[in-house]
Amino acid sequence: MIDFTGKAAYISGGTSGIGLAMAEEIARRGGHCFLFSVDDQAKRDEALAAVERAQRSTDQRHAAIHLDVTDHLAVDRELRAAVEDFGTPFFLANCAGIGGAVYFEKLSYERFDKTIQTSLYGARNTCAVLLPAMKEHGGFVVNVSSMSGLVGLIGYAAYSAAKFGMVGMSDALRSEYKRYGIHVASLCPPQVDTPLWREANLTKPPEVVAVNSNSGLMQAHEIATAMIRGLERREAVIVPGTRAKFIHLMQRFLPGIRERMTDRMIRKAQSETPKS
């Protein structure tokens, strides 16, 4: 069992969705939560209230600041100050990201760049500050990837590029920091019912909707508890949900069959949709 009692957890994108669910779970286990996101003050206050309701003891401390993880200078400045004031991190989760699916020919350079900057560079920026601070006492780092970081699909050229990158970076960091007692994992959930998912659903191509429906829909709190279980088992890639695990295993051991199954769903959706 991982003991979070009295230990500091730093969570990017921590004021909504999966990040907030992680914070609530860690607060229930006695941890102090430092959240940072681009959400406005009202959203940050709402998130802090939710974390405080979940906490185990009134002695726990929590904070939420505005921080854009794509700004590496701001990340360096704010997180160095946080380590001095809030405490050495025991846990870091990189949850900040941009979702959505779009056909490649409609994918602008700006959208591709912003997707990579937020997820992949954002994770790099926080790790660059906090991993050195964790070396003395060890801990855990979770980079929130996706099933789209394990299986590339139509519509996800930008999203998969970012999320595959996070899996690769996690593998490299785990190898490098294992000697310091730091375990680095990728969290690769399927669809999760979050504000980001609901917004992205409004503009998904029909093929994406068809394929996504096969992987199931999970709740954020389910992802948080699955993450804790995965960390306790020292899993390198944490895949929550039975359906998602099955798809992951198919991709690893029977990729050709998995691709043919996906292609059938795509062709069916395309046959019911006029060509653009």
Digit-coded pLDDT (tens) for 236-247: 999 999 999 999
Max Cα–Cα distance, the chain, nearest Å: 60
Residue with the two structure tokens 């609901």: 198
Residue 248 inside a domain? The answer is yes
Just list the catalytic residues.
145, 159, 163
Q: Which pTM value belongs to this model? A: 0.95
Q: Is 180 exposed, middle or buried (0-12, 13-18, 19+ CB in 10 A)?
A: middle
* Domain-located, residue 276: no
Q: With respect to residue 255, please indicate whether it lies within any of the assigned structural domains.
A: yes
Which of 149, 231, 223 has the alpha carbon at shortest distance from 193?
223
Distances (CA, A) of 47 to 6, 67, 247: 20, 15, 33
Residue 258 within any structural domain of the chain: yes
Query: What pLDDT was estimated at residue 276?
Result: 60
Q: What pLDDT digit, counting tens, does each position of 262-273 carry?
A: 999 999 999 988
Query: Is 79 part of any domain?
Result: yes
The answer as to whether 1 is a domain residue is no
124-150 pLDDT tens trace: 999 999 999 999 999 999 999 999 999
Which residues of the chain fall below pLDDT 50? none
pLDDT at residue number 190 = 94
| Domain region containing 140 | 8-271
If you write DSSP's letter for every residue of the chain in order, what string do you get? ----TT-EEEEETTTSHHHHHHHHHHHHTT-EEEEEES--HHHHHHHHHHHHHH-S-TT--EEEEE--TT-HHHHHHHHHHHHHHH--EEEEEE---------GGG--HHHHHHHHIIIIIHHHHHHHHHHHHHTTT-EEEEEE--GGGTS--TT-HHHHHHHHHHHHHHHHHHHHHGGGTEEEEEE---EEESHHHHHHHTT--HHHHHHHTTT-EEEHHHHHHHHHHHHHTT-SEE--SHHHHHHHHHHHH-HHHHHHHHHHHHHHHHHTS---
What is the Cα–Cα distance from 250 to 257, expressed in whole angstroms? 8
Number of structural domains, the chain?
1
- Nearest Cα neighbor of 63 from 81, 74, 77 is 81
**Is 174 a domain residue?**
yes
CATH number at residue 20: 3.40.50.720
User: 6: which 2 tokens?
Assistant: 């009295």
pLDDT for res 198: 83
Residue 247 pLDDT: 94
At 38, list the tokens: 């681009």
- 241: phi then psi, degrees, rounded to nearest 5: 95, 140
Say what the pLDDT of residue 200 is: 80
